[in-house]
Amino acid sequence: MIHVSYTASDSRYDTMTYNRSGKSGLKLPAISLGLWHNFGGIDVFENGRAMIRRAFDLGITHFDLANNYGPPPGSAELTFGRILKQDFSSYRDEMIISTKAGYYMWPGPYGEWGSKKYLVSSLDQSLKRMGLDYVDIFYHHRPDPNTPLEETMAALDLVVRQGKALYVGISNYKPEEAQRASRILKELGTPCVIHQPSYSMMNRWVEDGLLDVLDEEGIGSIAFSPLAGGVLTDRYLNGISPDSRAAGPSVFLKPEDINDAKIAKVRKLNDLASERGQKLSQMALAWVLRGGRVTSALIGASKVSQIEDAAGAVRNLAFSDEELARIDAIVG
């Protein structure tokens, strides 16, 4: 296959918004691209490549991975490494690349959770897969109930001191865990710059204490599943289409998640989005970013057009009090 060489768009920074992550020097695009699905070994390489090229052309500089993304696990990092080598070697310093460790990756006692042994080994494997000397952000992917938090945070501090990561973050930590983690890292001299929680109109747990902790600690946030696994798009307005996530073997969106009551709410939200001159997906992303408490909304995509839609959300991030009240009344 002949690979067409890639030159990034000269206008790539003209329309995207960049937000500071907490009290750090790190700025993230308001929309970031996650490689959780559609970049694995089972997926079409050229489709993934086209999506990353288009995302970068639209000012999306942040690409979010994890050791277990695929499927199979590890293959998203391999795919991304190929794309980096082919297209982005001269743009590395314009990119924020993140990866994570916490979920199961290999057999035996050192293949998951939060030990120093696992985290350091996993990051070494991730760097090798992607062909990188360092990542910009390394996350602990989920709290470990059995390893002392001091050990897990010491591992994050270590990889920064080793030059394998520039910044560190946490994901899926509850408010009190996040606060403890942040304070340990501050004492070690490597601050936590970002937390990655799930957050959407349909899933607001972060408003119950977590966002307050992040504000207090000076930590940024990047919301995953801001479209509620695809529910907050126009895809399910008329039920489940055969090519949708809910129709396939998805681990995070099942047909029973899309019931009549939920579709009725989605239709009302879609009407409001239309009044705002946005697609429902764009309004959902704008809602997560409203008021500046969330640094970036992390999207997944299966085609280029979805990335273009998402990037367009930044054209209208403001909500009136009446619009916010309507959304609250609809979601219930």
For 33: left if phi > 0, alpha if psi spans -120 to 50, otherwise beta; the answer is: beta
- Looking at residue 259, its pLDDT comes to 86
Q: What are the boundaries of each domain within the chain?
A: 18-229+288-316
Task: Go through the chain and tell me how many residues it has.
Answer: 332
Q: What is the mean pLDDT of residues 292-297?
A: 97
Give the predicted TM-score (pTM) of the model.
0.94
Q: Between 257 and 136, name the one with better pLDDT.
A: 136
Distance between CA atoms of residues 274 and 141, nearest Å: 36
Q: Between 282 and 251, name the one with better pLDDT.
A: 282
- CA atoms within a 13 Å half-sphere pointing along the CA-CB vector of 50: 13
Q: Determine contact, residues 137/146, Cβ cutoff 8 Å.
A: no
Q: Which tokens is 233 given?
A: 């798009």
Q: Between 59 and 245, name the one with better pLDDT.
A: 59
pLDDT band at 59 (very low <50, low <70, confident <90, very high): very high
pLDDT band at 1 (very low <50, low <70, confident <90, very high): low
Q: What is the mean pLDDT of residues 92-100?
A: 98
Q: Could you tell me what percent of the chain has a pLDDT over 90?
A: 90
Per DSSP, 295 falls in state: S
Distance between CA atoms of residues 237 and 233, nearest Å: 8
Q: Determine contact, residues 69/36, Cβ cutoff 8 Å.
A: yes
Q: What is the mean pLDDT of residues 287-309?
A: 97
Q: CB burial class (10 A; 0-12, 13-18, 19+) of residue 42?
A: exposed
Residue 69 three-state SS = coil
Distance between CA atoms of residues 35 and 22, nearest Å: 24
- Looking at residue 239, its pLDDT comes to 73
Tokens 């042994």, residue located: 117
Q: Indicate the Cα dihedral angle 132, 138, 143, 145, nearest 10°.
A: 60
What is the per-residue pLDDT across 232-263, written as a single tens digit (0 to 9) for each?
Answer: 999 888 876 656 555 555 555 566 677 888 99
Distance between CA atoms of residues 193 and 139, nearest Å: 10
- Looking at residue 2, its pLDDT comes to 57
Q: Determine contact, residues 73/122, Cβ cutoff 8 Å.
A: no
- Looking at residue 219, its pLDDT comes to 98
pLDDT band at 3 (very low <50, low <70, confident <90, very high): low
Q: Which fold has domain 18-229+288-316?
A: TIM Barrel (3.20.20)
Q: Which tokens is 282 given?
A: 């764009």
Q: Which tokens is 156 given?
A: 């994050």
pLDDT band at 4 (very low <50, low <70, confident <90, very high): confident
What is the per-residue pLDDT across 16-27, written as a single tens digit (0 to 9) for each?
Answer: 999 999 999 999
- Helix (H) / strand (E) element for 98: namely strand 96-101
Q: Which of 139-153, 227-241, 302-316 has the lowest mean pLDDT?
A: 227-241
Q: Determine contact, residues 134/159, Cβ cutoff 8 Å.
A: no
- Looking at residue 248, its pLDDT comes to 53
